[in-house]
Amino acid sequence: MTVHLTTIGPAVSPAEQRYLDLYAGCAGRLPGARHETVRHWREAALASFAALGLPHRRVEEWKYTDLRTLMPEVHPLAGALPALAADVSIVKAIGEALAELDAYWAVFVDGMFRADLSTVHEAGVAFQPLRASLEGEEAANVPGQFPPLDRDVVAALATAFATDGAILNVPAGLKLDKPIHLIFIASEGAPKLVATQSAIVIGEGAEASLIETHVAAGEAQAFSATRLTVGAGAAVSHVRVNEGAKQLSTASVVLGERAQYDPVQMTTDGALTRAQTRIRFDGSQARCHYAGAMMLRGHAHADFTLVVEHAAESCESRELVKAVVDGRSRGVFQGKVIVERGAQKTDGKQMANALLLSDEAEFDSKPELEIFADDVACGHGATAGQLDEDLMFYLRARGIPEPEARALLIAAFVGEALDKIGDEALRTALQEKVDAWLAH
C-alpha cells in the first residue's frame, strides 16, 4: 500500500516513495514512537528528505554519485524491534589489526547496541545508547542533541530511521588514556537497512581519540550520521573507516576556540561508499588537518565529500586525500573551503592525489574555494597519474621483484595520509589494512 505522510504531501517520485512506505510500515516500532516530540522529530527529517529527493547526477553535490542508479532498492529496516542478538565475530568483521587495538568499545550490531561486546562504560565518560535515551523519561530532550543539517539527505534518513547510536560526552579537562572505538556492523544474512546516529561532545580542554568503524556485510545498506562538538582548547583525533557493501555516512563537526581536530577518513573497496564531512570553525585560532585514503578495485565506488567552513579568524585547515584506483572502480573527492566575512587570517590548503592502476579506473576531483574575506592564504590542487616508471626502474634495478616494487610504491603513496595519525598503534593497524589490500 502506498502511504503519503500529511506533512510531506503527494509530490514525490517513486524513488522517495519507497522510503516513505518503509517508514509508514515501521514507524510504530521505532524507538521513542510513543513520544510525540520524537515522532515529530523523525517526520520532520523525513519531510526534509522528501523535499530534497533521493540524490542523482543532476544534483551538484551528488553529480558523481547517483543514488538512483547506485542504490535504487530499499531493504527492510533492521533493529526496529529488539531481536535475538546476532552471533558476530568482531575480529572477522573489522579485521584483526583494529580488533586487537587497545581501546574502549561501543559495539552496535544491526542497529542495536551490544552491551555484552562493549567496554565504553569503563572510559570515565558519559555514555548512553540512543535507543535507551529515546525510550526513557527524557526522550523529549533527545532531538535537541541532533539539530537539522542543511541539505543533508544522509542525516535526514539517519534521523528518520535511526534505531540506535551513541550519545557520548567527554568531560572538560579529561585526557583519555586510550581511544573510544565506535563499531557499527551490519551483519551477514538477508538484505537489510541499518540506520544509526550519534552525538558526541568533547568538553573544554579535553583530549580524546575517537575511532568509528562502519562495516556492512553482504547486501546490507547503512546510513549513519555523527554530530561532533569540540570544545575550546580540546584536542581530538577522529578516524573513520568504512568497509563493505553500500554505506552512506555523514559527520558534522563544530570547533571551538583553539580546538585541534585531526580527522582521517579511510575506505577499502565496497560497492558504494559516500563519506561526507562538514567542519565548521566557530572559534578563533582553531586547527584542523584532514586526511583521506581510499583504495579501490573491481567495481568499487567511493566518494569523499568535504566542506570546511571558516567562520572565525586566525584558523588553519589542511586537507590531503590519497586515492588508489584499480580495475573499473571510481574514486571521488569533492572538497570545498568557505571563508566567511570576518574570518580574516585564515590559512587553508587542499590537495588531492590519485594513483590510477588501470586504464578503466576513474578519479574525479572537484576542489572549490569561496572566499569572502580579504586577508587569507588559501589554495588547492589535484593530480592524477600512474606509478612512477623511474621509481619502478630504481627498485627493479636493486633486485626487487615487480609485484613487491609496486606494493612498496603504493604503500608509500597511501602512507602520506596515514602518517597524519599520531597514535602509532592505530596508524600501524590501518597500515595493516593497506597491506592486506595489496596482498589480494
User: CA-to-CA distance for 368 and 335, rounded, in angstroms?
Assistant: 6
Mean pLDDT of 391-415: 88
How many beta carbons lie within 10 A of that of residue 379, not counting itself?
12
Mean per-residue pLDDT, 218-228: 94
Is the pLDDT score of 381 beyond 80? yes
Cell numbers linked to 389: 616508471
Q: Which residue do the cell numbers 563519506 mark?
A: 275
pLDDT at 6 over 80: no
Task: Tell me which residue has cell 572538497.
Answer: 335
Residue 7 is predicted with a pLDDT of: 52
CB-CB contact of 337 with 380 (8 Å): yes
The predicted pLDDT at position 345 comes to 97
Give the range among 28-42, 76-90, 174-188 with minimum mean pLDDT: 76-90
Map out the domains of the chain as residue ranges.
81-387, 388-440
User: Shortest CA distance to 318 belongs to which of 295, 286, 283?
Assistant: 286
Residue 1 clears pLDDT 70, i.e. is over it: no
User: Alpha-carbon distance 177 to 361, whole Å?
Assistant: 42
The per-residue pLDDT for 5 is 56
For residue 194, which of 3, 26, 12 has the smallest C-alpha distance? 26
Residue 3, pLDDT > 80, answer no
Q: Supply the mean pLDDT for the chain.
A: 92
Q: Which of 229, 227, 225 is nearest to 206 (CA)?
A: 229
pLDDT digits 0-9 by tens, 120-159: 999 999 999 999 999 998 999 999 999 888 899 999 999 9
In whole angstroms, give the CA distance from residue 396 to residue 384. 23
Q: Are 324 and 296 in contact (CB under 8 A)?
A: yes
Grid cell listed for 211: 575511532
Question: Distance of CA 11 to CAs 17, 23, 89, 303, 345, Å?
Answer: 9, 17, 44, 29, 46
**Under the phi-then-psi rule, with left for phi > 0, alpha for psi from -120 to 50, and beta for the rest, what region is 97?**
alpha
CB atoms within 10 A of CB 394: 13
> What is d(CA 292, CA 172) in angstroms, rounded to the nearest whole number?
29
Mean pLDDT, residues 245-257? 96
Region 199-218: mean pLDDT is 95
User: For residues 2 and 51, which has the higher predicted lDDT (pLDDT)?
Assistant: 51
**pLDDT given for residue 315 in this prediction:** 97
Tell me: pLDDT of 320 over 90: yes
Q: Is the pLDDT of residue 195 over 90?
A: yes
* Burial environment of residue 405 by CB neighbours within 10 A (0 to 12, 13 to 18, 19 or more): buried
Q: Is pLDDT larger for residue 395 or for residue 274?
A: 274
202-233 as b/e, with b when 16 or more CB fall inside 10 Å?
Answer: bbbbbbbbbbbbbbbbebbbbbbbbbbbbbbb
Q: For 328-345, what is the mean pLDDT?
A: 96
Angle, vertex CA 279, rays to CA 273 and CA 284, nearest 5: 165
Structural contact between residues 156 and 79, judged by C-beta atoms closer than 8 angstroms:
no
If one counts every other C-beta atom within 10 angstroms of the C-beta of residue 46, the result is 25
Cell numbers that stand for 130 in this block:
540512543
The phi-psi region of residue 9 (left if phi > 0; otherwise alpha if psi is between -120 and 50; otherwise beta) is left
The Cα–Cα gap between 54 and 429 comes to: 36
21: cell is: 512506505
Q: Quote the pLDDT of residue 12.
A: 81
Q: Residue 210: its pLDDT value, please? A: 97
Residue 26, classed as helix, strand or coil, is helix
Mean pLDDT within 362-375? 94
Q: How confident is the model at residue 167 (pLDDT cuts 50, 70, 90)?
A: very high
Please compute the mean of the pLDDT values over residues 311-339 and round it to a whole number: 97
pLDDT above 90 for 200: yes
Residues 343-362 pLDDT 10s: 999 999 999 999 999 999 99
Q: pLDDT tens digits, residue range 46-71?
A: 999 999 999 999 999 999 999 999 99
Whole-number Å distance between alpha carbons of 247 and 271: 9
Q: Which three cell numbers stand for residue 368?
A: 572549490
The pLDDT of 418-426, averaged and rounded, is 92
Dist. CA 53–CA 404, nearest whole Å: 47
pLDDT, tens only, 252-305: 999 999 999 999 999 998 899 999 999 999 999 999 999 999 999 999 999 999
Predicted confidence band at 391 (pLDDT cuts at 50, 70, 90)?
confident
Sign of CA dihedral 103, 107, 113, 116: negative
- Beta strands (DSSP E) in 31-114 are 104-109, 112-113
Instruction: Name the least confident of 85-99, 201-215, 257-271, 418-432.
Output: 85-99
> Is the CB of residue 280 less than 8 Å from the CB of residue 147?
no
Start-to-end Cα distance in the chain: 46
Residue 4: what pLDDT?
A: 47
Global confidence as pTM: 0.94
Q: Which pLDDT belongs to residue 93?
A: 86
CA 282 to chain centre: 21
Rounded CA gap, 393 and 391, in Å?
5
Q: What is the pLDDT of residue 2?
A: 41
Distance CA 265, CA 242 (A): 8
Question: For residue 82, what pLDDT is reported?
Answer: 58
